[in-house]
């Protein structure tokens, strides 16, 4: 479902009036349409299938090197993401670190950031975003284990309330064999660069 830009623009115009501004003054005249265009981008993941980027898998036993079966995790670090907090409609942004223990199928590494992008392009909370990424990868790849670590800065923390500009929120979502803290210790060390 596409964002209804006309309705968003009309609502933004109403908000400007509600805060005591003149939406027809030169600096604000184009603001409703600009916000509508930004929201079309910010919320482009609404209604999209997050598993679609994972549809093209590679068999590890029948692939180009069938004698080379993965014994450990596949880890992709520092995937940049941005989203919008559903509580205040303020942005949050950070990095995702994704690891999975392959079963029979692996996926091209470029597919993992696409999953993050689709799920982040919705009104979100960070905790749910990590869980959705983990669930999507676990289901689509039949992985033996999945670990998703998100580290983000939230504008609702940096700009309002406690106004803590350096505060970062870190969340962990784990599935399968990586749900046990001892099993994911090595991966956490690789993500953070410090011993677990």
> Can you give the pTM of this predicted structure?
0.89
180, 151: one domain:
yes
| Residues in the chain with pLDDT values less than 50 | none
Our measurement of the distance from residue 155's CA atom to the centroid of its chain's CA atoms, rounded to an integer in Å, reads 16
For the chain, the domain total comes to 2
Specify if 46 maps to a domain.
Answer: no
* Structural domain of 90: 51-192
Report the binding-site residues for Zn(2+).
85, 88, 156
The domain that contains 161 carries what CATH number?
Answer: 3.30.1130.10
Residue 99: the pLDDT is 95
User: Model confidence over 32-84: pLDDT tens digits?
Assistant: 999 999 999 999 999 999 999 999 888 776 655 555 555 688 999 999 999 99
23, 81: one domain:
no
Instruction: Look at the alpha carbons of 58, 64, 70, 74 in this order and tell me if their dihedral is positive or negative.
Output: negative
| φ and ψ at residue 157, rounded to 5 degrees | -95, -40
Question: How many C-alpha atoms does 37 have within 13 Å on its Cβ side?
Answer: 5
Report the binding-site residues.
85, 88, 156
33, 96: one domain:
no
């Amino acid at each position: 479902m596409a964002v209804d830009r006309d309705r968003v623009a009309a609502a933004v115009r109403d908000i400007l009036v509600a805060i005591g501004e003149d939406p027809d003054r030169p600096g604000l005249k184009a603001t409703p349409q600009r916000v509508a265009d930004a929201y079309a981008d910010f919320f482009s993941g609404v209604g999209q299938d997050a598993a679609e980027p994972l549809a093209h898998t590679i068999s590890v036993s029948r692939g180009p090197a069938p004698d080379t079966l993965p014994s450990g995790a596949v880890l992709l670090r520092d995937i940049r993401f941005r989203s919008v907090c559903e509580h205040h409609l303020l942005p949050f942004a950070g990095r995702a670190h994704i690891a999975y223990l392959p079963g029979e199928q692996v996926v091209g590494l470029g597919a993992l950031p696409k999953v993050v992008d689709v799920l982040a392009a919705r009104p979100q909370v960070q905790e749910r975003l990590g869980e959705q990424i983990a669930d999507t990868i676990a289901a689509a790849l039949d992985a033996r284990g999945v670990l998703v670590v998100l580290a983000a800065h939230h504008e609702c923390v940096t700009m309002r309330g406690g106004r803590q500009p350096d505060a970062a929120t870190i969340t962990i979502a784990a599935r399968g064999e990586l749900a046990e803290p001892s099993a994911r210790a090595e991966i956490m060390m690789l993500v953070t660069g410090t011993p677990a």
